[in-house]
Chain A
Amino acid sequence: MGTGAAKIDEALPWGGLTPGLHEIAAAHGDAARAGFVASLLGRRPGPVLWCRSHRTALEAGDPYGPGIARLGLAPDRLILAEAAKPAELLWAMEEGARTKGLAAVVADGVMPDLTAGRRLQLAAEAGQGLVLLLATSRQSAASTALTRWFIASAPSRPEAEGPGRPCWTVELWRCRGGRPREWMVEWDDAALSLSVVAPMADRPLAAAVPVPAGPASGLDGAWPGRDQADRGGQDGGADGTDRRDDLGGRKSAAA
Chain B
Amino acid sequence: MGLTAGMTLADARALLPDLTVADADPSADAKALAALTEWCGRYSPWCAPDGEDGIRLDITGCAHLFGGEAAMLADAIHRLWRFGIAARGAVADTPAAAWGWARYRRKSASPILGEGETAPLLPLPVAALRLEPGSIDTLGVLGLNTIATVVDLPRGPLTQRLGAAVLGRLDRMFGRAAEPISPHAIAEPWASRLIFPEPIGRREDIDAAAERLTAHLCRAMSLKGQGARRLILRFYRVDGAVQHIAIGTSRPTQTPTHILRLFAERLDQVEPGFGIEAIVLEATEAEPLGATQGALTAAGDIDATDLAGLIDRLQNRLGAARVVQLVPVESHVPERAEVREKAKAPSPFQPAAGPLPLPLRGRGAHESPSTSGRGRGPRSGRVRGPSILKSARPATLLPIPEPIDAIAPVPDDPPLTFRWRRIQYRVAFADGPERIEPEWWRREDQAKPRDYYRVEGTDGRRFWLYREGLYGMVEPPRWYLHGFFP
Question: Do A and B truly interact?
Answer: yes
Interface residues of A (CB under 8 A from B): 27-32, 34-36, 38, 42-47, 49, 57-58, 60-83, 88, 91-92, 95-96, 99-102, 152-156, 158-164, 166-168, 187, 189-192, 204, 207-214, 216-218, 220, 222
A-B residue pair count with CB separations less than 8 angstroms: 273
In the complex, the answer to whether B396 meets A60 with C-beta atoms within 8 Å is yes
Report the bound CA distance from A30 to B399 in whole Å. Answer: 16
Report the bound CA distance from A68 to B358 in whole Å. Answer: 12
Report the bound CA distance from A49 to B353 in whole Å. Answer: 14
Closest chain B residue to A42 by CB distance?
B355
Known: A58-B399, A62-B397, A72-B356. 17 other contacts (CB 8 A): A61-B484, A64-B394, A64-B395, A64-B396, A66-B389, A74-B353, A75-B357, A76-B361, A159-B376, A161-B378, A162-B376, A162-B431, A162-B432, A163-B462, A192-B370, A208-B460, A212-B424
In the complex, the answer to whether A46 meets B353 with C-beta atoms within 8 Å is yes
In the complex, the answer to whether B356 meets A42 with C-beta atoms within 8 Å is yes
Note all chain B residues with C-beta closer than 8 A to A69.
Answer: 357, 366-369
Interface centre among A60, A65, A153, A187 (most CB of B within 10 A): A65
Does B171 sit at the interface, judged by CB under 8 A?
A: no
Q: How many residues of B contact A (CB 8 A)?
A: 81
In the complex, the answer to whether A31 meets B355 with C-beta atoms within 8 Å is no
Stretch at the interface among B52-60, B151-159, B306-314: B306-314
In the complex, the answer to whether B458 meets A208 with C-beta atoms within 8 Å is yes
Report the bound CA distance from A177 to B262 in whole Å. Answer: 40
Instruction: Kindly identify which residue among B313, B317, B369, B430 contacts A189, using a CB–CB cutoff of 8 Å.
Output: B369
In the complex, the answer to whether A189 meets B374 with C-beta atoms within 8 Å is yes
In the complex, the answer to whether A166 meets B486 with C-beta atoms within 8 Å is yes
Note all chain B residues with C-beta closer than 8 A to A47.
Answer: 302, 307, 346, 352-353
Interface residues of B (CB under 8 A from A): 301-304, 306-307, 309-311, 313-314, 317-318, 322-328, 334, 337-338, 340, 343, 346, 352-358, 361, 365-370, 372, 374, 376-378, 389, 392-400, 419-426, 428-432, 454-462, 483-486
- Across the A-B interface, give the 6 residue pairs with the lowest CB-CB distance, nearest first: A35-B486, A162-B431, A31-B484, A64-B397, A163-B456, A66-B393
Instruction: Kindly identify which residue among B306, B314, B340 contacts A101, using a CB–CB cutoff of 8 Å.
Output: B306
Note all chain A residues with C-beta closer than 8 A to B370.
Answer: 190-192
Interface centre among A69, A80, A217 (most CB of B within 10 A): A69
In the complex, the answer to whether A34 meets B358 with C-beta atoms within 8 Å is no
> Do A32 and B459 contact each other (CB < 8 Å), given the known contacts A67-B393, A67-B397, A70-B369?
no
Q: How far is the CB of A16 from chain B (nearest CB, A)?
A: 14
In the complex, the answer to whether A43 meets B355 with C-beta atoms within 8 Å is yes
Instruction: Kindly identify which residue among A68, A190, A222 contacts B374, using a CB–CB cutoff of 8 Å.
Output: A190
Report the bound CA distance from A152 to B303 in whole Å. Answer: 36
> Do A153 and B461 contact each other (CB < 8 Å), given the known contacts A76-B353, A161-B431?
yes
Note all chain B residues with C-beta closer than 8 A to A31.
Answer: 394-396, 461-462, 483-486
In the complex, the answer to whether A66 meets B310 with C-beta atoms within 8 Å is no
Report the bound CA distance from A213 to B422 in whole Å. Answer: 6
Interface centre among A34, A64, A82, A101 (most CB of B within 10 A): A64
Q: How far is the CB of B317 from chain A (nearest CB, A)?
A: 7
Note all chain A residues with C-beta closer than 8 A to B346.
Answer: 47
